[in-house]
Homo-oligomer: A and B are copies of this chain.
Amino acid sequence: MSYLYLTDFLNLKEISSDLQQELQTCIQVKEVKKGEIIISKGDLKHKKFYVRNGLLRSYIIDSKGREHIYMFAPEGWVVSDLVSLTGNQPAIMFVDALEDSTLEVIDDERIWKLKDRFPELMTSESDRMLRRIAVLQQRVIMLLSASAQERYEAFLTKYPDLIQRIPQKMIASYLGVTPEALSKIRANMSKS
């Protein structure tokens, strides 16, 4: 039954049964509990994870010991420390589960080898990268130009379904403000 998820992961409408079968050997299903850490800073052979269901987050811990959330990954998203991973570097981020989740561990090297025979894999990867760039671009623009309240409002609009699933203090961290500041903003907003 995981064919469905793979197709989704690859963002391909049509997928040949040949490719389907090959891809089966490139993924491995993994169940994780809420709170479980999947990638730690320093990990060397970390992986890419497709979220079948549940919710993950990736975050850094800065030099002063503060946590900053880089992204959330609900169902359908892929998380990893992409930059470290492709550069064969130790991870600089942590990834953990905010909910019990079902993941597909992606064996990227194996998929890489299929690219000659299935060029559509390249297209799919480009698509996914472009979407990541779009998210990051928007994030940079918001951090540069919008107030804390504006960033929160944009988050509400963009990810309305995530609000109920993520503790406020983590949304605050994602937005680059303290939990206290976000609380004040919310109080203000509900007044007017």
Instruction: Kindly report how many copies of this chain are found in the complex they form together.
Output: 2
Interface residues of A (CB under 8 A from B): 60, 62, 66, 68, 70, 82-83, 86-87, 116, 119, 122-123, 125-126, 129-130, 132-134, 136-137, 139-141, 143-146, 176
Nearest-CB residue, chain B, relative to A173 = B144
Q: Which residue of B lies closest to A68 (CB)?
A: B144
B66 and A140 contact, CB distance less than 8 A: no
**Chain B min CB distance to A179 (Å):** 15
Known interface pairs A66-B145, A119-B119, A176-B144. Does A83 touch B125 (Cβ–Cβ under 8 Å)? no
- A116: nearest residue on chain B (CB-CB)? B119
* Residue in B66, B87, B132, B137 whose CB lies within 8 Å of A70: B137
The residue of chain B having its C-beta at the shortest distance from the C-beta of A87 within the complex is B134
A140 to B129, CA, bound (A): 16
Of the residues B133, B145, B176, contact of A136 by C-beta under 8 Å: B133
Q: Are B143 and A176 in contact (CB under 8 A)?
A: yes
Q: Which residues of B contact A68 (CB under 8 A)?
A: 141, 144-145
When C-beta atoms are compared, the residue in chain B nearest to A150 turns out to be B63
